[in-house]
Amino acid sequence: MHATSEILAEANAVRGTLANLTTETKNKALAAMADAIEADTEAILAANAEDVAAARGVINPVMIDRLSLDAGRVHGLAEGIRALIPLDDPVGKVLDHIERPNGLVIEKVTAPMGVIAIIYESRPNVTSDAAALCLKAGSACVLRGGKEAHRSAAAIVVALRKGLAVCGLPKGLVNLIDDTSRASADELMHADGLVDCLIPRGGAGLIRACVERATVPCIQTGTGICHVYVDAAADLQKALKIVENAKTSRPSVCNAEEVLLVHSAVAGEFLPKLKALLTENREKAGKPTVELRLDPHAAAIIPGTPAGPSDFDTEFLDYILAVKIVDSPAEAIRHIGAHSTHHSDAIVTEDKETAARFVREVDSAAVYVNCSTRFTDGGEFGLGCEMGISTQKLHARGPMGLRELCTSKYIVTGDGQIR
């Protein structure tokens, strides 16, 4: 086992290489890394089988499924890396070009972040995805995955480094922390000057720990208490389709709907239809039904569980939907302002002015009009990839693509100017 400090030193030793990586070199390396993953399929599957065997009975079946690889999934890891090759190189973009009266030429250009640390949990694809994203963005990565997936992650990193070696690149571009205890996470959080950006990807506890304790710059990826507001001027057919999709298409993810707000003018017509759609109809179709947790006004219209005090502030990640009746768009906006995690919130309305007001006043990373909150995703946004969804307001907000993994620098060229 290598000490975390040694691994950090190895990552930092490649800074000179990073500054000189061309698009062509990076793309060749990505191709070689993908090929190496496929060539190492057997070793990766063997390591993964050990992880899975050790995890059985320790973590739940959903987590076991997330952890498990087969030949198809290993091919998927390689394809995930290859998908980055055609994407635009985010480094070296001129963001501003300023010519000053004194003759100075000032350019603001995108530049590699340097060393990016990622603390994550047990999905093996994060290892290869994160390494590939960082490389395409011109940075070295320091990966610190969960204990359950460590053998898999180590085998994947061995393959990725073989790909780097094929291209004559130093292995320090992709680094995996051997120590999966809390000590190594703490060391990364305090690696001032050695880690330019720390990205925690995982549960609320991990993210909170990073925000509270990290002294290195940290990007908060977030939990989602996402709202759909069905306005008085909503097309109720669209609203039914959107609410069912936002709630049930994948309830375990952060962009799933947790709270439904319905304007009182349409609640009497809408809620019974919604109740039928989410319970009776789904039951008949053999799909999981949705438990509705109702505020008193909604409970007067349809049967359901009475909403408790915390139900409007909970990320259920389950087939549960809190429902509240509001009397105006302003009340909906106020409720969202007070209870949203500012991830993704939607309005369903045919009234353009109400939509414009909602979009202006709802202060969330993604604000939707007449579509499902489930679209908050780098791929769905056309970014080609993502490193997570930022719910903070600095640097990156919403899906983080390659651009958000870069920094910028000012390059000022003169001919002897002084101030």
Pick from 44, 326, 368, 378 the residue near a copy of itself by CB under 8 A. Answer: 368
HSE, side-chain direction, 13 A CA sphere, residue 285: 10
Contact between 288 and 225 (Cβ < 8 Å): no
Q: Measured between alpha carbons, how far is residue 106 from residues 21, 97, 101, 109, 403 in Å?
A: 23, 6, 11, 10, 21
Query: Residues 204, 215, 268, 308: which binds a copy of itself (CB under 8 A)?
Result: 215
Place of tokens 């057997």: 42
Q: How far is CA 43 from CA 33, 36, 64, 299, 303, in A?
A: 15, 11, 19, 56, 54
Q: Work out which of 16, 61, 72, 309 binds a copy of itself, going by CB under 8 A.
A: 16
Does 108 bind a copy of itself (CB under 8 A)? Our answer is: yes
156-188 burial: b if 16+ Cβ within 10 Å, else e: bbbbbbbbbeebebbebbbbbbebbeeebbebb
Residues found in the chain = 419
Chain position carrying tokens 């079946």: 61
Q: Which stretch binds a copy of itself (CB under 8 A): 56-64, 304-312, 315-323, 371-379?
A: 371-379
Closer to a copy of itself by Cβ: residue 44 or 195: 195
Inter-residue contact 376 to 296 (CB < 8 Å):
no
Q: Quick check: 98 binds a copy of itself (CB under 8 A)?
A: yes
Among 114, 146, 224, 388, binds a copy of itself (CB under 8 A): 114
Minimum distance between the CB of residue 54 and a copy of itself, rounded to whole angstroms?
35
Choose which of 2, 56, 287, 409 interacts with a copy of itself (CB under 8 A): 409
Q: Is 273 exposed, middle or buried (0-12, 13-18, 19+ CB in 10 A)?
A: middle
Mark the segment that binds a copy of itself (CB under 8 A) among 11-19, 178-186, 302-310, 317-325: 11-19
Question: How would you class 260 by CB atoms within 10 Å of its CB: exposed for 0-12, middle for 13-18, buried for 19 or more?
Answer: buried
* Closer residue to a copy of itself, CB minimum distance, 152 or 390: 390
217 belongs to the binding site for a copy of itself (CB under 8 A): yes
Distance CA 230, CA 329 (A): 9
Scanning 61-69, 154-162, 237-245, 321-329 for contacts with a copy of itself by CB under 8 A, the matching segment is 237-245
Q: How far is the CB of 414 from a copy of itself (least distance, A)?
A: 3
Asked if 413 touches a copy of itself (CB under 8 A), the answer is yes
Q: Smallest distance from the beta carbon of 102 to a copy of itself, in angstroms?
A: 9
Binding residues among 377-406 for a copy of itself as defined by CB under 8 A: 380-382, 392-395, 397-398
Query: Residue 382: left (phi > 0), alpha (psi -120 to 50), or beta?
Result: left
Tell me if 18 sits within 8 A of 92, measured CB to CB. no
Does 219 bind a copy of itself (CB under 8 A)? Our answer is yes
| Per CB under 8 A, 223 contacts a copy of itself | no
**204 near a copy of itself, judged by CB under 8 A:** no
Q: Is 24 among the residues that bind a copy of itself (CB under 8 A)?
A: no
CA distances from 406 to 84, 119, 416 (A): 15, 18, 31
359 binds a copy of itself (CB under 8 A): yes
Beta bridge partners of 398: 390
> Least distance to a copy of itself from the beta carbon of 386, Å?
12
Nearer to a copy of itself, 33 or 366 (CB): 366
Stretch that binds a copy of itself, among 45-53, 231-239, 295-303, 316-324 (CB under 8 A): 231-239
Q: How deeply is 1 buried, as exposed, middle or buried, from its count of CB atoms within 10 A (0-12, 13-18, 19+)? A: exposed
Question: Residues 73, 82, 238, 335: which binds a copy of itself (CB under 8 A)?
Answer: 238
Instruction: Please state, in angstroms and rounded to a whole number, the distance separating the CA atoms of residues 205 and 212.
Output: 10
111 binds a copy of itself (CB under 8 A): yes
Binding site for a copy of itself (CB under 8 A): 15-16, 19-20, 98, 100, 104, 106, 108, 111, 113-114, 196-197, 211-212, 215, 217, 219-220, 235, 237-238, 241-242, 244-246, 249, 333, 337, 355, 359-361, 363-372, 374-376, 380-382, 392-395, 397-398, 407-419
